């Protein structure tokens, strides 16, 4: 690694060290979840529907299959005639419902109303016993979208004269989340992990990851991975934390995320163990040591990416099948403070929390040009960006640090507002009893949030003061959890 740096790079590093901002700029600007009041529902049908019936009745519902179509029109409000409906005109047809009423439909239903009189108007009312000429006019191009159970009354009208009344009741059931085991047992990964590890001195670590509700419902593997460890250099100990989130659209991303974590951890452990002693003065640290540390983090990410390319070639698969993010945090003591170096490629978050409750977001969660498009370490051109993605911070009073996938970070967006709450919820749980802190974190990470169904991974490290303080007094009481087995150095 070259220790010669341009004056511009030195000035940039000096600014980073001299005054680390409380927060770093974030690209996203809209929240992505709301607090759940009822259990959230999966996005696809949970159970197969019964076979359709051939008979149609205006009074007795018949069995019909689930309908998966989605209409653009909203549900019309119920309309009831203010005056009694005139007697039906003889010879006018009744209404046919398509699909016919059944028991029960799943999630939602798009309903079509049909009549054998081509020029007749169809009027209908939801959750009403009858409908008159002032009822809602049915539009065949839009149909009727029913997101929940409803009854319907409908008639044809010719010159404002009604045909016979047709009524039906449609029951819409919201399917429950399921946990499905996978038929494909290749490249298995546990559905959840909860671990703890003693770090250097008073520092402790807890790590947890869980398969998201949507992956469990669809019978997919957990795609998030994590790893952590220590590197004992001649002048101090480096703590390493790595999290990777496999792309949901990539069928081997669980392999990619595991491989990235394992390779990056091994390279950083070896490199930091052999790392030269850090200078005690700011000037030398900035001009010599930080560029070397940046280069080592970039090497670890580049080597991990190269191993991923080799694995893709060995399996004769496209690199995109292994798409994963990569977040690395390296921390050690320096002159009584904590020196932190981070590299982030993709979404998720790396966050630092000081004793005086100052928050630092050490990295930027980046997305593609569209809100649903996430960048990964495997994204074209990402390797060239890696040096600029390394960030430094020196925190004199660092209390805790977190590295997490977007399954957690997005649930606490905006980070600058909600991450203090995140630390306030998590720290009391892991500090209460270190022996079961991994199980406590795993229990917490299974929280319910409406609209949140992604895999989750979170690694938290903290300085154990022995006093178990609760930041801001915002945390809920610590819940009793069962002890878990204690693996070594994270998921590999």
The phi, psi pair for 269, rounded to 5°, reads: -60, -45
Q: Are 244 and 406 in contact (CB under 8 A)?
A: no
Q: Which residues contact 84 (CB under 8 A, 6 or more apart)?
A: none
Enumerate the β-bridge partners of residue 111: 144
Q: What is the overall mean pLDDT for the chain?
A: 78
d(CA 40, CA 63) in angstroms, rounded, equals: 27
Beta-sheet pairing, 203-210 with 456-463: antiparallel
Report the largest interatomic distance among the alpha carbons of the chain, rounded to a whole angstrom.
99
* Residue 417, both tokens: 């507002």
pLDDT tens-digit series, residues 76-96: 344 444 445 667 666 788 899
Integer-rounded Cα radius of gyration of the chain:
29
Looking at the chain, the domain(s) classified CATH 3.60.40.10 span 7-38+179-473
Beta-carbon count within 10 A of 328 CB: 29
Domain 44-175 sits in CATH at 2.60.40
Residue 122 has a pLDDT of 93
Confidence (pTM)? 0.64
d(CA 117, CA 56): 18
Q: Which residue has the tokens 């930080």?
A: 290
Total number of residues shown for the chain: 492
Backbone angles phi, psi at 235, to 5 degrees: -115, 10
- 7-38+179-473: CATH, from 3.40.50.2000, 3.30.930.10, 3.30.2310.20, 3.60.40.10: 3.60.40.10
- At which residue do the structure tokens 């932190």 appear? 340
Question: What pLDDT sits at residue 1?
Answer: 44
β-pairing verdict for 172-173 and 105-106:
parallel
* Residue 335: how many other CB atoms lie within 10 Å: 13
Q: Is the backbone of residue 74 left (phi > 0), alpha (psi -120 to 50) or beta? A: beta
Q: DSSP string of 180-221?
A: ---S--SS---SEEEEEEE-STTEEEEEEEE--HHHHHHT--
Per-residue confidence in pLDDT tens, the chain, 492 aa: 444 444 454 445 444 443 433 333 333 333 222 222 233 444 443 333 333 322 222 333 222 222 223 333 334 344 444 445 667 666 788 899 999 987 788 778 889 999 888 778 999 999 999 999 899 999 988 889 888 899 999 999 988 889 999 999 998 887 677 777 776 788 888 889 999 999 999 999 999 999 888 877 777 888 999 999 999 999 999 999 999 998 877 888 889 999 999 999 999 999 999 999 999 999 999 999 999 999 999 999 999 999 999 999 999 999 989 989 999 999 999 999 999 999 999 889 999 999 999 999 998 777 544 334 578 888 887 888 899 999 999 999 999 999 999 999 999 999 999 999 999 999 999 999 999 999 999 999 999 887 788 899 999 999 998 644 333 333 322 222 222 233 334 554
Q: Is 45 exposed, middle or buried (0-12, 13-18, 19+ CB in 10 A)?
A: middle
Residues of the chain with CATH 2.60.40: 44-175
DSSP 265-332: HHHHHHHHHTPPPPPSSHHHIIIIIHHHHHHHHHHHHHHHHHHHHHHHHHHT--GGGG-B-EEEEEEE
CA distance 412 to 418: 5
In whole angstroms, give the CA distance from residue 175 to residue 154.
29
Q: What are phi and psi of 137, to 5 degrees?
A: -80, 125
**Token pair 């649930």 in the structure block, residue:** 411
């Amino acid at each position: 690694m070259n220790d010669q740096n341009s004056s511009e790079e030195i000035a940039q590093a000096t600014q980073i060290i001299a005054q680390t901002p409380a927060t770093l700029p974030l690209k996203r600007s809209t929240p992505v979840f709301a607090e759940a009041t009822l259990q959230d529902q999966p996005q696809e049908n949970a159970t197969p529907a019964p076979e359709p019936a051939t008979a149609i009745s205006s009074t007795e519902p018949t069995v019909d299959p689930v309908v998966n179509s989605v209409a653009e029109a909203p549900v019309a409000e119920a309309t009831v005639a203010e005056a009694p409906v005139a007697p039906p005109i003889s010879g006018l047809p009744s209404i046919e419902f398509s699909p016919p009423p059944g028991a029960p439909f799943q999630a939602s239903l798009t309903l079509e109303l049909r009549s054998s009189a081509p020029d007749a108007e169809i009027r209908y009312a939801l959750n009403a016993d009858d409908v008159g000429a002032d009822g809602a006019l049915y539009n065949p191009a839009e149909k009727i979208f029913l997101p929940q159970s409803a009854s319907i009354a409908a008639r044809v009208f010719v010159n404002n004269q009604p045909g016979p009344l047709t009524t039906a009741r449609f029951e819409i059931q919201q399917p429950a989340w399921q946990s499905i085991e996978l038929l494909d047992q290749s490249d298995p990964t546990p559905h959840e992990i909860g671990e703890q590890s003693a770090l250097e001195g008073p520092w402790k670590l807890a790590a947890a990851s869980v398969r998201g509700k949507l992956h469990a419902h669809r019978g997919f593997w957990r795609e998030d991975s994590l790893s952590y460890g220590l590197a004992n250099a001649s002048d101090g100990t480096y703590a390493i934390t790595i999290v990777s989130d496999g792309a949901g659209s990539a069928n081997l991303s669980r392999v990619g995320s595991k491989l990235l974590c394992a390779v990056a951890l091994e390279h950083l452990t070896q490199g930091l163990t052999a790392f030269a002693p850090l200078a005690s003065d700011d000037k030398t640290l900035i001009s010599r040591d930080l560029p070397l540390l940046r280069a080592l983090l970039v090497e670890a990410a580049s080597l991990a990416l190269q191993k991923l390319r080799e694995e893709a070639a060995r399996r004769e698969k496209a690199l995109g099948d292994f798409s994963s993010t990569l977040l690395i945090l390296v921390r050690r003591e320096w002159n009584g403070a904590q020196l932190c170096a981070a590299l982030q490629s993709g979404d998720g978050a790396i966050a630092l929390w000081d004793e005086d409750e100052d928050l630092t977001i050490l990295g930027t969660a980046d997305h593609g040009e569209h809100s649903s498009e996430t960048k990964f370490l495997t994204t074209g051109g990402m390797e060239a960006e890696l040096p600029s993605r390394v960030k430094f911070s020196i925190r004199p009073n660092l209390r805790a640090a977190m590295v997490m996938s977007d399954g957690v970070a997005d649930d606490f967006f905006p980070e600058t507002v909600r991450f203090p709450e995140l630390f306030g919820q998590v720290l009391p749980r892991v500090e209460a009893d270190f022996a079961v802190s991994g199980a406590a974190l795993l229990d917490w990470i299974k929280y319910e949030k409406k609209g949140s169904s992604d895999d989750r991974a979170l690694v938290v490290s903290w300085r154990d003061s022995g006093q178990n303080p609760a930041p801001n007094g915002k945390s809920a009481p610590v819940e009793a959890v069962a002890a878990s087995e204690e693996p070594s150095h994270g998921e590999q």
